[in-house]
Every structure is written in C-alpha cells, then in structure tokens.
Amino acid sequence: MSDPIRVILVDDHPVVRLGLSALIDSEPGMAVVGQGNNGLEGLALVESLKPDVVVMDISMPEMDGLEATRRIRAGNPGVHVLILTVHAQERYLFPVLKAGAAGYVLKSTVDTELLDAIRTVAKGGAFLYPGAARMLLEDYVHRLESGAPSEDYATLSDREQEVLKLIALGHTANEAADQLALSPKTVETYRMRIMQKLKLGNR
C-alpha cells in the first residue's frame, strides 16, 4: 500500500479549512497533516512537515498566497502548491502560475474538482479548471495574431494547431471533437499536450 498524499491547508477562514479537511480526509490515499491561517503559517508548516501538496487561498492576512507560493517553491521545489480561490478572472490566473503554483481550483467547484486536482499535482502534473485553460490558450492565440513571435508554437503539429484555435474560439472539447472527427477524450489529450508544449500549465 502506497503512502497517502500528505496535504497542508492554508486559508484564513476556519470554516473553509474544516470543510476541506473533512473532504480530503474522507478520501482514501489522502491525509491533511497541517493547517495554517495565512501564508507565514503555511511556510512554517511546509518547512516542518514537508507535505506533498499545499492547498492555499490567495487573499490572506500577514502574507498572501502568491508570495507564500513563491517562497515555498523557491525553498521546497518538491512541494506542489494548489491555489484555491473565488477569483475566476484572468488577472488572477497569470500571477498564480508565474508564482509557481501547479494548479488553480475555484472554491465553487471544490466538491467536484479538488480531489482530482490534488492527485494530479502530487504526481507532478498541472491542474487548471476548464475555463482557466481556455483563458490561457485565448491569450496565446491573441499574442500570435498580434505578431508576437513564438518558437513554442512551431513545435505544435498541424492537428494540435487546429485544436488550439477551436478551443481559443470558445468551443468545448465535444464541439471540437465533432468538427475534427475525433473523440472528446482525444481532444482533451491534445489540449494537455498543447499546454505542455506552450509551457502554459507548468510555469
């Protein structure tokens, strides 16, 4: 039997931590090993407990989630940070990825996405809610159309470029699959490959 994924929760709302802890501890193969009220407490917990994953809010007193993420990643590259937030806007997403977070989950989708997100980032992957992935790809296409050079784009296959354009235009995986005569699962595989090649999900 493999060791459980060790998780630290960092959020300044005790009720939120209580709910998250109950959700995570009820899942086989996961365990909450520590809880903090702000970024400073989160940093101290990471140093003492060496978790696999830190689930952290952005807006907190003392030290916010972005600064804490930067410091955690600088000192503990093996610890994966998953940002949990109410903010779905693009202006919050890019700083989170730039700070080194491995994933971004909306609090409104915790019950359906958090456990999958924890598993994904614990294995070294990146997790973005579907709308976030679309925002990143839309931004990338916009920069291409404005003439910004990109060596990464040249690494995409013709099929990957087709998928990228459809996603950036707002099509769902099912819609893109219909247009390209592929299965939705294949389109999702292409999307993840595109994110990796363009270095959009693992900054």
| CA–CA separation, 199 and 156 (whole Å) | 12
Q: With 0.85 as the threshold, say if the pTM is over it.
A: no
Domains and CATH numbers, the chain: 5-127 (3.40.50.2300), 132-197 (1.10.10)
How high is the pLDDT of residue 203?
36
Query: What's the pLDDT tens digit per position in 134-189?
Result: 666 666 666 666 766 566 667 778 888 888 777 766 677 788 889 899 988 888 78
Contact 156, 168 (CB under 8 A): no
Residue that the structure tokens 């990471």 belong to: 46
Whether the per-residue pLDDT at 72 is higher than 70: the answer is yes
